Amino acid sequence: MLDVKRMVILRDLAEHGRVTAVADLHGVTPSAVSQQLRALEAEAGASLVEREGRGLRLTPAGTALAAACEPVLAALERAEGAVRALDAGLGGELAVGCAPSALATVAAPLVAELAVRHPRLRPRIVQADPEEAVPLLRGRRLDLAVTYTYPLLGAPPAPGTTAVPLFDDPLCLALPRELLPAYERSGLAALRDADWVSAPAPGSCREMLLHACRNAGFTPRIAHECADLRAGLWLVGTGRAVSILPKLMCDAPPPGAVVRELPGPGRTLHALVRTGTGTRPAVAAALAVLSAR
C-alpha cells in the first residue's frame, strides 16, 4: 500500500522541481525528503526519480504517480467529511487564511456570523496573500482560504483546490488631485511619466498594474514598492506618485489623493478549499456564510 504523505512529497517535487523547495514546504530537511522518496519507491516497486545534474527529475513512473495524487487526496477528503458529518454538533477549530485587503470586509463578518450560527465552532484567521495561502491550504495547515485572482491574468486554480467565487472587486486608479484633469482628458496614457507605487514582485497585484499600463501603451516607472497597497495611498497623497489598486483598499484615501474606478474587469474574490472538503460540516458552514454576503 502506498503511503499518501509520501505521494504528496512526490507531487510537490513534480510541482516545485527541487528537493530543497519541497523540504522548506514540509518543514523538514532535504535528506528527510530523499529518504521518503526512497521509501515510496520501495512501496511502488519502481524507480520514481533519477539524478539530473545536482538535482532530481521524475521518471515516467514518478510522473504518473504524482499525477494520481490529487484524485486520491480528494477521495480521502470526501471520506473524512462523510465521517465528520455524522458528528452530533458542529465544533472545533476552523483555520481560515485571508488576504489582507479582505480582513475587514470578509474575515471579520465571517467570524461574527459563525459565532451566531455555530457557537462551538472556533474560526482562526490567518493573514495570508494568495501566494502564501495556497501552499498552507494544500498542506492542510488551513481549512479554507479567502483569496483573489485577476481574470485578465488568466491564472487557473491551484491543483487540488476548488474555488467558490464570492464577489468582484473593481480596480481603481489613485492619483494626486492635480493630475486628475490630465487623466480625465487622456486616460492612463497621461500618467506615463509619473512615478508609480506597486506591490513587490513577484505577485499578481504587480502583474495587474503592469498589464493595465502596458495596455495603455507604456511601461510604468515603479518608484515605490509597498506590500500593503493601502499604505501606498499615502505616497499618492504626497502628490509624487500614482497607483492602481482594488476598490476594497480605497475606502479612506488620504488628503491630496483622489480615486477613480477603472473600466473593465478587476479582481474576483474566492473561497478556496481543498477539493473534496467542501461538504465537510465546518467548511460548508463557512462557505454558506461567505456565499450569502
pTM over 0.75, yes/no: yes
Q: How would residue 35 be classed by pLDDT, with cut points 50, 70 and 90?
A: confident
CB 223 within 8 A of CB 193: no
Q: Select the more confidently predicted residue: 220 or 88.
A: 220
Q: How would residue 292 be classed by pLDDT, with cut points 50, 70 and 90?
A: confident
Q: 198-229 burial, b if ≥16 CB within 10 A, otherwise e? A: bbeeeebbbbbbbebbeeeeeebebeeebeeb
Domain 4-67 sits in CATH at: 1.10.10.10
Mean pLDDT score, 193-201:
93
Is the pLDDT confidence value at 10 over 90? no
Q: How would residue 89 be classed by pLDDT, with cut points 50, 70 and 90?
A: low
Q: How would residue 88 be classed by pLDDT, with cut points 50, 70 and 90?
A: low
CB 199 within 8 A of CB 206: yes
From the CA atom positions of the chain, what is the Rg in Å? 23
Q: Which residue has the cell 493601502?
A: 230
Q: How would residue 86 be classed by pLDDT, with cut points 50, 70 and 90?
A: low
Distance between CA atoms of residues 89 and 243, nearest Å: 48
The pLDDT value recorded for residue 6 is: 87
Mean pLDDT score, 20-30:
83
The pLDDT value recorded for residue 167 is: 94
Average pLDDT, the chain: 88
At the top level of CATH, the class of 171-263 is alpha beta
The pLDDT value recorded for residue 102 is: 93
Instruction: List every span in the chain annotated with CATH 1.10.10.10.
Output: 4-67
Is the pLDDT confidence value at 281 over 60? yes
Q: CA neighbours within 13 Å on the CB side: how many for 41?
A: 15
The pLDDT value recorded for residue 179 is: 95
Q: How would residue 180 be classed by pLDDT, with cut points 50, 70 and 90?
A: very high
CATH fit for domain 72-169+269-291, picks 3.40.190.10, 3.40.50.1100, 3.40.190.80, 3.40.50.970: 3.40.190.10
Q: How would residue 131 be classed by pLDDT, with cut points 50, 70 and 90?
A: confident
Mean pLDDT score, 266-292:
92
Q: How would residue 85 be classed by pLDDT, with cut points 50, 70 and 90?
A: low
Mean pLDDT score, 180-187:
94
Mean pLDDT score, 246-259:
91
Instruction: List every span in the chain annotated with CATH 3.40.190.10.
Output: 72-169+269-291, 171-263
* First-last CA distance in the chain: 45
Q: What is the pLDDT of residues 137-159, one digit of tens each?
A: 988 899 999 999 998 887 777 88
Share of the chain above pLDDT 90, in %: 51
Mean pLDDT score, 59-73:
83
